[in-house]
């Protein structure tokens, strides 16, 4: 097997590459990736030009080709990825494993059984551990254990890991029993002040919406600035000195920019904007900064809604980094 200066990764359901970028920052190298959504693949290829990207559905990739990954790159150190989360989401249809997207966990496990990496990391929405999904979640963990892994799962708050956002996600980490005697230990929260909206997007506050330059990438705004009754049912504004609400994957649910005052309650489940002030959602770039993507990371899209979608579905880069750093230390 060829010597490797960095532990190698296979990335599944790669999306825009937030998980890959965090692991890269911790010293890992993705050598092979898979993403099926054609509204996202141009972004991944633009930012990770050296990574082989397979654009087929993971279901269509035969076992023989997974074996070929080992032949080409040697033993893969880790498999990372977040299988589609819509079927587990509190905001979605909540069909869980009965939905075909929920069943893609089986293909994620298929890759692990064939590649037999030293570790894997699977990320998903908080809804995965809700009571209604308990049986499915336990079965998923059992499948990982049956494949030969010491499995640990935990809900991580992004705000504890240098991300200016109160986002919660489930991480399942498995260590191969042939390589480790114990399981993964999740990182402790980072000490010190938590980053704020001002830390994340303050530098963009005077940039005109729609500015297109190499310095100010993706400073686009959703064309729909109407707000539904559901959106208006609670305050959607966080101040400059606070952390952002969770960045979601649909543009109509994006939080309001912190330059406006907080909304006021006018009735039960009904808020209103303060008269005389301008309210707008965060731009695509502002959402990316809240997700801790670097300012030179380019999101490629023809429809701005796809920009919001790929950012909202991504793993915050700094959260991925802190998860990865502990694994990197254990591999040493």
CATH number at residue 75: 3.40.50.150
Cα–Cα distances in angstroms (integers) from residue 91 to residues 94, 250, 252, 322, in the given order: 8, 11, 13, 27
Q: How many residues does the chain have?
A: 332
Relative orientation angle of helices 63-73 and 104-115, to the nearest 10 degrees: 40
pLDDT at residue 132 greater than cutoff 80 = no
Handedness of CA 223, 227, 231, 232 (dihedral sign): positive
Cβ neighbours of 291 (radius 10 Å)? 27
The pLDDT of 149-161, averaged and rounded, is 96
Q: What is the pTM of this model?
A: 0.91
Mean pLDDT of the chain: 91
Question: In the annotation, is 287 catalytic?
Answer: no
Q: Is 185 helix (H, G, I), strand (E, B) or coil?
A: coil
Burial status of residue 215 (CB atoms within 10 A of its CB: 0-12, 13-18, 19 or more): exposed
- 169 within domain boundaries: yes
Which range, of 30-44, 102-116, 224-238, averages the lowest pLDDT? 102-116
Q: Across-strand partners of 272?
A: 264
Would you tell me how many other CB atoms lie within 10 Å of the CB of residue 116? Answer: 16
**Taking residues 72-94, what's their average pLDDT?**
71
Average pLDDT (176-200) is 97
Retrieve residue 323's tokens.
């998860």
Query: Does 210 score more than 80 pLDDT?
Result: yes
Backbone angles phi, psi at 17, to 5 degrees: 105, 20
| Residue 290 included in any domain | no
Residue 129: which pLDDT band, with cuts at 50, 70 and 90?
low
Give the count of domains, the chain: 1
The yes-or-no verdict on residue 15 having pLDDT over 50 is: yes
Structure tokens at 182: 């114990």
Residue 262 lies in a domain: no
Cβ atoms within 10 Å of 311's Cβ, excluding its own: 30
Q: Average pLDDT of 293-320?
A: 96
Hey, what's the torsion of the CAs at 261, 266, 270, 274, to 10 degrees?
-20
Instruction: Calculate what percentage of the chain has a pLDDT beyond 70.
Output: 91
CA dist 248 and 254 (Å) reads 6
pLDDT at 310: 96
pLDDT in tens, 219-275: 999 888 899 999 999 999 999 999 999 999 999 999 999 999 999 999 999 999 999
- For residue 55, give the DSSP letter: -
In a domain, 286, yes or no: no
Per-residue model confidence (pLDDT) at position 156? 96
Alpha helices in 10-82 (DSSP H): 18-25, 41-47, 63-73
Q: In the structure encoding, which two tokens stand for residue 222, read together?
A: 């959703």
Question: What per-residue confidence (pLDDT) applies to 130?
Answer: 67
Q: Which residues pair with 176 in a beta bridge?
A: 149
Residue appearing with tokens 């400073």: 219
pLDDT tens profile 91-107? 444 444 454 444 688 89
Distance CA 283, CA 210 (A): 9
Q: Is residue 250 part of a domain?
A: no
Q: Tell me the angle at which helices 104-115 and 134-146 cross, rounded to the nearest 10 degrees.
A: 20
Whether 136 has a pLDDT exceeding 80, the answer reads no
Question: 87 or 319: whose pLDDT is higher?
Answer: 319
Could you tell me which residues are beta bridge partners of residue 205? Answer: none
Inside any domain, residue 119? yes
Domain span at residue 117 reads 8-190+316-331
- With a pLDDT cut of 90, the percent of the chain lying above it is 80
**pLDDT at 1 (0 to 100):** 36
CA angle 6, 8, 11 (to 5 degrees): 140
List residues bridging with 103 in a β-sheet: none
User: Is a pLDDT exceeding 80 seen at residue 67?
Assistant: yes
pLDDT at 266: 96
Q: Is 41 in contact with 56 (CB distance < 8 Å)?
A: no
Among 85, 104, 150, 248, the one annotated catalytic: 85
Mean pLDDT to the nearest integer, 130-151: 85
Question: 3-class SS at 202?
Answer: helix
Summarize the confidence of residues 204-229 as an average pLDDT.
Answer: 90
Q: Is residue 214 part of a domain?
A: no
User: Residue 174 CB: number of other CB atoms within 10 A?
Assistant: 28
The token duo for 104 is 């893609």
pLDDT average, residue stretch 111-120: 97
SS3 260: coil
Residue 177 within a domain: yes
């Amino acid at each position: 097997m060829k010597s490797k200066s960095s532990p190698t990764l296979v990335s599944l359901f790669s999306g825009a590459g937030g998980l890959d970028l965090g692991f890269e920052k911790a010293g890992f190298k993705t050598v092979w990736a898979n993403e099926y959504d054609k509204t996202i693949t141009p972004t991944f290829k633009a930012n990770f030009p050296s990574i082989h990207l397979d654009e087929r559905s993971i279901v269509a990739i035969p076992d023989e080709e997974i074996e070929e990954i080992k032949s080409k790159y040697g033993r893969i150190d880790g498999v990372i990825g977040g299988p589609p989360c819509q079927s587990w989401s509190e905001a979605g249809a909540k069909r869980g494993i009965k939905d075909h997207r929920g069943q893609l966990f089986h293909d994620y496990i298929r890759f692990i059984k064939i590649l037999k990496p030293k570790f894997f990391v699977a990320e998903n929405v908080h809804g995965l551990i809700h009571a209604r999904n308990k049986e499915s979640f336990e079965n998923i963990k059992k499948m990982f254990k049956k494949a030969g892994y010491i499995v640990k799962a935990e809900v991580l708050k992004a705000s504890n890991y240098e991300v200016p956002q109160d986002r919660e996600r489930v991480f399942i980490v498995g260590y191969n029993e042939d390589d480790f005697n114990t399981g993964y230990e999740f990182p402790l929260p980072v000490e010190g002040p938590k980053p704020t909206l001002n830390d994340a997007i303050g530098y963009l506050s005077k940039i005109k919406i729609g500015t297109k330059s190499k310095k100010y990438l993706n400073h686009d705004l959703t064309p729909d600035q109407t707000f539904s009754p559901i959106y208006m049912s609670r305050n959607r504004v966080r101040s400059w000195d606070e952390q952002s609400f969770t960045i979601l994957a649909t543009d109509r649910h994006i939080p309001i920019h912190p330059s406006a005052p907080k909304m006021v309650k006018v009735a039960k489940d009904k808020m209103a904007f303060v008269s005389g002030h301008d309210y707008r959602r965060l731009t695509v770039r502002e959402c990316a900064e809240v997700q801790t993507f670097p300012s030179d990371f380019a999101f490629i899209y023809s429809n701005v809604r796809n920009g919001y979608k790929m950012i909202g579905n991504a793993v915050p880069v700094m959260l991925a980094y802190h998860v990865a750093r502990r694994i990197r230390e254990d591999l040493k």
